[in-house]
Structure 1
Amino acid sequence: MLKVVPPTSRWAPIARYPITDLLIKQIKPLATKKSHAQGTLVSEELCADALKRISPYIPQDAPLDIVDLWPGNGVWSSAVNDFLRPRRHILIEPELDVYGPFLKPLAKSKPSYTLGSLNIYSARWPDIFKKYLPEQKAPERNESGDLPKNNSLLILANPPVPNSAKDHFTPSRWWSAIMEGCMLQTGLHCYGSVRILASFPVIEVQSVLARTVYERKRPALLTENVALHAFELASGYELEPWHSLKTWNSIQNNMNRVTERAAAQGVTTPAGREPIPLELAPDSPKPQRGIPYHPRARTEGHDNFMEVIEKGARIAENSQKYKPQKVAEAKKDATRALASLKFDNRTAFVRENLTKSQMAIDQLMTDLCNAAADPKMTTKELQAIDKKIGDAKAALQEEIDNNHFRLHRSWDRNLDDARIEKHSNNLDDSVLLWDRRPFHPLHIKDDEVFPAGTRRTFIYFEPAEKCPATALNKIPIEKREKLAQLFEALSVTFGTRHQMTIAELTDSLFPGRTTEEILKMLPSLIKYTGKRLKPDCGPVSLPDGTSNPEECFQENIEYDLSEYRLRCVPVSILWDILLVYQKHALDLSSLEFSRLLGGALTSFRSGDYSIYQAKRLH
């Protein structure tokens, strides 16, 4: 595994990047403020590689304006300006006292630049656009219901990490606000939805582009809601926690599919920018009896285990050189590390076996749906398939009962990832934007961001005209604000109640309704249910013989909405649920709706005490 080795001093000047001398002078004295030490790009080579990679996605044959938020030292801003030659380029740097020596000369270098300083979080963008971007105009109302898209404006952003632990407005929360603005056509999107090129700390990116269903929280959901494209353009190397949540085969299948997409598009990667390959976790020096080695991604924890084990072995081999107490302590530490490595292997082994068992049950349910719609099948044959499902479920429960809860308590994460992979058309239609990325991100070297070793990731976002958020346009305009607030409340539950099943949601929203009634109102949910044969029922042909039986309501099938968690469901189906709810349910406020779901939406978030401008709803 590649070790991330920090430089001798992260503040040492880098000879091939002379700008670092001035950065040290300006930033190092203020390094106690995290925002000043968040990392700023210094490599023009990286800029060139990134812009070449992203060029097919940004129109270059029409007038373009750029709004550049937190431009920092201006290296990235200058490269983008040279490449795109914008009509106007507005630089907005809140910390102009720090970055002024870089930005003021840049602003004077071309007439397209305008430099200013303000609090970006409280900015009123319609007023700013009117003042500095006179060519920008509000889009004409259209009857198509599509989300208006503004191809003449590009946003560059480098949101800072909070200065204080008490400040919870992280870059991912800023991003959530921007994505919500895209849905509602407010803020930066007041003249139509715009493209965004943003730089984030690596640890924040997983909130925006979730790698696993478990990590699919509100920022990711809001991005899926409006995105045509959202992917990493370039990223620093980081040992990411999600590596331990996915199976080795799943990770490899994912990476191979991305490689295939890139090859199909003719995307090439410059030397030195290739993704750093993952390695397999080490096998235990003393394997556990009855538990074979289970392949999984190597993490920092595995390296720590092996370091302690190998240290214990070295000391034991040369015990005469050490005091008995040191030998005993090293042996004790090595024994613990060995036990931890074995437990890690056993946990991965048990969780994947449980996942395979449930996926086999899911396949039997698919077989049952197909057979139940086939007039050539007999009742006895259907009952035989149903019995297999019952027997497999009993065997799975026995397998769970026979293992300590610590071994299987989080296996639902593996299961949900396997399920969305099954329903994703070779990952091309996955609910996770990460699975749909068109190529691997370019690798950012340690010294290309200053202070050295700071991990940053560049994200490209492009809005879609036809996206799930256009569900708002399916209802009268006077009802749209209420529906948007309900979506807000539902999205919050993805963070507070990530284990919620579909049944828990539908029971709360449609009390007294049977599962059959709910599925007839919401046929898009049928795909995400457990299936069993109704007693004494035979095959019944579908009205449309070309339909997929697994996704159609069948009178001879008994459905169970409790077998899938809500986090597996695409955002388009969440809108389906809310549209039906608004049509049939009680008239609750968004705050009451949130409490109904067990969420924690505050009056401020619900809009009851909003200090911002009114939301535009198309």
Structure 2
Amino acid sequence: MIRSTRIWLPRTSSRGSRKIESVSQRRTYIKKSSAQPATTRASTEAALRKYYKERFGSFRDQDPLVISLYKKVLEQIENRVSSRAKISVRAQIVSPKLCDDVLAYIGPSLEKHKGCDILDLNPGVGLWSSKLHDFLQPRSHILLESAPDHFEDYLNPLVEQPNSTYKLVPGDITEFATFERIIDEGHFPHQKRVSQGQARDPGLNDSLLVTGTLFWDPKLPGKGFDSMSKQLLASFAKMAGNYDLFHALGQARMLFWTPTEDMRYLLPKSQITVGKGSFWHQISVDMAEIVAGGQEARAGGRGTSGREPRYMIESTYRAMQRAKANGIELPAHRREYLHDFADDIGKMSGGTGMMSSEDVSKYLLEQELAGKPTTGLIADQTIESWHLDHSMGIQPKIVRDGGRTRIRGEPKTSKKYNKPCVSVDVPDEEATSLTSVSQKRASALQSEMNRIRADKLVDVGEDIYHLECDILALEDGAEKNDKVKKVEEMQKEFDRRLNSDVQSHLRPTLISILDDRISIRSPVRRLSWDSRPFEPLIMQPHEVWPPNEASLADMTPLPPLRGDDHDHAEYVRDIIYGLFEKPGRPLPQALENMHHGASEIMENVPVLRDPKRGGRLIMDNLRIRMLTVEMVEGLTKAWREWPFRDPDATHSNYFRMKGGSRPLGDFDL
């Protein structure tokens, strides 16, 4: 039997002015067969060896710590069972300055943990561990290390120092039995398990702090997750409500280093990326991002899942204002240009941070050409188009809305003539050009026109939302009836324009833009990201080894969901699974998809029509991703009391079984 193996060779990826290589980003797969001649196998092994040296030896001449880590990796390569086997390296925090900046930034919130017990998962080289230890002076510090032999040279000096409160304990953190074992072995003599009598509401256990580094390069797959880091973060949050794992000693605050890309799964920064996993995570923990990688390059058209620039800037400005009110200032060396843009637009907007797409685009064009990168805010193709025009002595154009032209996809290219198939507003001499320059310019202009025209329609959608809120606050009478007629007419016009002026594949994007605007300005919390108390510190890839974009997640467990019986939380979880099959669906449609006639239960959930709590008058305008925790709990209660549900729907796993969800135990939603 011929077996094939796969070698992972990453392409170089660039973001703004910084160039990094990340195995977790785009990869080129080179497949080789074990049945190939020895010479071919030898060249394959040489390619793998060269890759490891280039990837993991990037900064080996600059830092003794990195040099020693690089040598460790070389030993792993030499000691592999198979010469072509892939290895996953545990990424390490190697920047003392980054650790110091973190402790200075969140130090006040850590004061209550001084003298506590620390459970440190996969401490690795122990740099972050020692910095946190020196700040908190814990009475005990358990170093739970999955590879003690590999890291003992770094950790033993901590354990062996005079009067040390460190203790090195071997244990695989991906095996949950490990946590039960270390508690049973008495490693936390000052702690007590939460008793059944306490479990109603024992509160947070500030005498226990859990930290660690959940970071593998290349990405280590999990069970039911594409990343072990995601799996562990989700599981640790879920177990807080069950008082399981280390939370058996009481719900504990958690500080975990993790890949920045994995944070986006659990902490969405746009309504379009909200899913059942992130929604449940929001129910389980209050999550903040203390450290983050910088802005990533933004794709154009359907390739982007980020917010519109104006909403990214508005949300950033609001977070900076909250931080300022609480005496928190982002250090100058931990800022990026986005923060400068937010400051400027805050002043230009009179302190609101709100500007039209047209004005924001004009401002960002000026900044880009002035040498301040707009990476992550503006699509790469648009940035490239601006610079191409500028280099040719042509003033880059910001499109002004000139009517109700149909919002369409980006120009496709004719294979025969190699030119855009649709016309756009460009000068004649450029439109006749058959070069790639004109294609990029046309695509960028079309994208910009789409954004500005979409903004006009989103304005109407926001007006409808505010009018709905006004109506819901009125008593029955003539004034209310008149406004109901008005909002019905506005809704018809909105639907007509959406269907006639916007191409079908772009309609979901426009609706998500509307949801983002409402979400940012909502009276209730919808996205945790929009309620963040401060902006994260921006790290540089070389502060982690191998070089990576890293985040520090701060997770504080929330009180467990409590209902009329012990199954309440599981019923809520099941309802979330059913509702969030397609988060962009309107609530009535989602309920009908779950069970015929189930939209009836909306009448028994008053919060759905309470404007002060995020409710709407027109239920078709309330999409699943816009639901609040309170709304989902109300829907769960109404579902359980609905007399017409399927006779088989009397248990808390109905929708997961109906949807064919493979049971994943602790890793299930």
Structure-1-length-normalised TM-score:
0.77
Which runs of structure 2 are paired with 1:17-28 in the superposition (5 Å)? 17-28=63-74
Task: Give the C-alpha shift of residue 339 in structure 1.
Answer: 2.0
Deviation at 1:524, TM superposition (A): 1.3
Asked whether the 8 Å contact 1:154–1:195 carries over to 2, the reply is: yes
Give the aligned partner of residue 504 of structure 1. 589
- C-alpha distance after superposition, 1:449-490 (max 9, x if no partner): 2223x11011111223xx4x332xx323xxx24x33333333
Secondary structure in 2 aligned to 1:601? coil
Q: Secondary structure at the match of 1:58?
A: helix
Match of 2:208 in 1: 153
Q: Distance in 2 between matches of 1:165 and 1:475?
A: 34
CA shift digits 1:186-241 (9 cap, x unpaired): 112112110100011111111121111222224422332133x4211112213166
Q: Do structure 1's residue 121 and structure 2's residue 174 form an aligned pair? A: yes
Is residue 296–residue 375 contact of structure 2 (8 Å, CA) maintained in 1?
yes
What is the rounded CA distance, in whole Å, between the counterparts of 2:222 and 2:441 in structure 1? Answer: 36
Does residue 411 (structure 1) correspond to residue 528 (structure 2)? The answer is: no
Change (3 A) 1:133 1:550: closer
Task: Name which of 557, 564, 567 aligns with 1:475.
Answer: 564
Partner of 2:159: 107
Q: Residues of 2 paired with 1:19 and 1:606: CA distance?
A: 36
Tell me if the contact between 2:323 and 2:534 (Cα under 8 Å) persists in the aligned partners.
Answer: yes
Distance 2:204 2:470 in 1: 43
Runs of 5+ consecutive residues of structure 2 not aligned to the other structure: 1-14, 22-53, 78-84, 342-355, 365-373, 395-417, 419-430
| Residues 365-406 of structure 1: per-residue CA shift (max 9 Å, x gap) | 223334444xxxx53x44432332232222212322133224
Is the alpha carbon distance of 1:550 and 1:588 closer, same or farther for their aligned partners in structure 2, counting shifts above 3 Å? Answer: closer
Q: Specify the alignment match of 1:303 in structure 2.
A: 380
Are positions 1:5 and 2:70 aligned together?
A: no
Instruction: Give yes or no for the alignment of 1:81 onto 2:133.
Output: yes
| Aligned-partner Cα distance in 2 for 1:57–1:422 | 27
CA distance in 2, matches of 1:590, 1:192: 25
Q: Does the Cα contact within 8 Å between 1:294 and 1:348 map onto a contact in 2?
A: no
**2:634 counterpart letter in structure 1:** D
Aligned counterparts of 2:613 and 2:502: Cα–Cα separation in 1: 36
What corresponds to 1:384 in structure 2?
482
Paired with 1:45 and 1:279, the residues of 2 have a C-alpha distance of: 23
Q: Confirm or deny: 8 A CA contact 1:11 1:28 kept in the other structure.
A: no
1:233 to 290, 309, 320: 290
Q: 1:171 to 1:402 in 2, by over 3 A?
A: same
Show the counterpart of 1:250: 311
Deviations 1:34-67 (A, max 9, x none): 631x531111121111112222222447641111
Write the distance in 2 (CA, Å) between the matches of 1:409 and 1:509.
21
Q: CA deviation at 1:312?
A: 9.0
| 2:531 counterpart residue number | 436
Distance in 1 separating the partners of 2:546 and 2:252: 31
**Secondary structure of 2:255's aligned partner:** strand
Measured after TM superposition, the shift of residue 247 of structure 1 is 3.1
Q: Which moved more, 1:39-48 or 1:485-494?
A: 485-494
- The SS at the match of 1:440 is coil
Contact (CA 8 Å) 2:194, 2:249: kept in 1 or not? Answer: yes
CA contact (8 A) 1:311 1:330 kept: no
Per-residue deviation at 1:279? 8.7
* Whole-angstrom distance in 2 between the partners of 1:484 and 1:550: 22
Q: Distance in 1 between matches of 2:587 and 2:269?
A: 22
Matched with 1:565 is 623
Would the alpha carbon gap of residues 165 and 11 (structure 1) be closer, same or farther in structure 2, given more than 3 Å must change?
Answer: farther
- Give the 5 Å matches for 1:56-205: 56-60=108-112, 63-109=115-161, 111-124=164-177, 125-131=179-185, 132-141=187-196, 145-146=200-201, 148-161=203-216, 162-163=219-220, 168-205=226-263
Report if the CA contact (8 A) 2:88-2:220 is conserved: yes
Structure 2 vs 1, CA of residues 68 and 164 (structure 1 numbering), >3 Å: closer, same or farther? Answer: same
Could you tell me which residue of structure 1 aligns to residue 367 of structure 2? none
Shift of the 16–568 alpha-carbon distance from structure 1 to 2, 3 Å rule, reads same
SS of structure 2 residue aligned to 1:5: strand
Q: 2:638 & 2:129 partners in 1: Cα distance? A: 46
* Distance in 2 (alpha carbons) for counterparts of 1:51 and 1:6: 26
Give 1:458's aligned residue. Answer: 552
The 5 A counterparts of 1:296-375 are: 298-299=374-375, 302-307=379-384, 331-373=434-476
Greater mean deviation of Cα atoms: 54-63 or 71-80: 54-63
Point out the more displaced range, 90-99 or 292-301: 292-301
Counterpart CA distance in 2 for 1:95 and 1:82 is: 24
The answer to whether residue 92 in structure 2 is matched with residue 40 in structure 1 is yes
Structure 2 CA distance, aligned partners of 1:111 and 1:330? 73
- Report SS of the residue matched to 2:207: strand
Contact 2:474 2:480 in 1 (8 A): yes
| Residue 150 (structure 1) shift | 1.5
Matches of 2:182 and 2:597, distance apart in 1: 51
Count of aligned pairs between the two proteins: 540
Q: Contact 1:494–1:567 (CA<8 Å) still a contact in 2? A: no
Q: For 1:577 and 1:28, how far apart are their aligned partners in 2?
A: 56
> Partners of 1:94 and 1:112 in 2: how far apart?
20
Q: Go from structure 1 to structure 2 and tell me whether the alpha carbon gap of 1:364 and 1:112 turns closer, same or farther (over 3 Å shift).
A: same
Instruction: Give the CA deviation at 1:495.
Output: 5.9
Distance 1:583 1:292 in 2: 46
Return 190-199 or 334-343, whichever deviates more: 334-343
C-alpha separation in 1, matches of 2:509 and 2:239: 35
Q: Tell me which residue corresponds to 2:272.
A: 214
Match of 1:273 among 320, 330, 334: 334
- Cα distance in 2 for residues equivalent to 1:65 and 1:292: 50
Return the letter of the residue paired with 2:607: S
Structure 1: unaligned runs, 5 residues or longer? 281-290, 318-324, 529-547, 553-558, 611-618
CA contact 1:486–1:590 (8 Å) conserved in 2: yes
Maintained 8 Å contact 2:580/2:624:
no
Q: How big is the shift at 1:330? A: 9.4
* C-alpha spacing 1:147/1:508, structure 2 compared with 1 (3 Å): farther
Aligned AA for 1:504? Answer: Q
Is contact 1:148–1:193 with CA below 8 Å preserved after alignment? yes
- Residue 244 of structure 1, CA deviation: 6.2
422 and 345 in structure 1: CA distance in 2 versus 1, 3 angstrom threshold: same
Rate the CA distance shift 1:305–1:33 in 2: closer, same or farther, 3 A: farther
Q: Which residue identity does 2:608 align to in structure 1? A: L
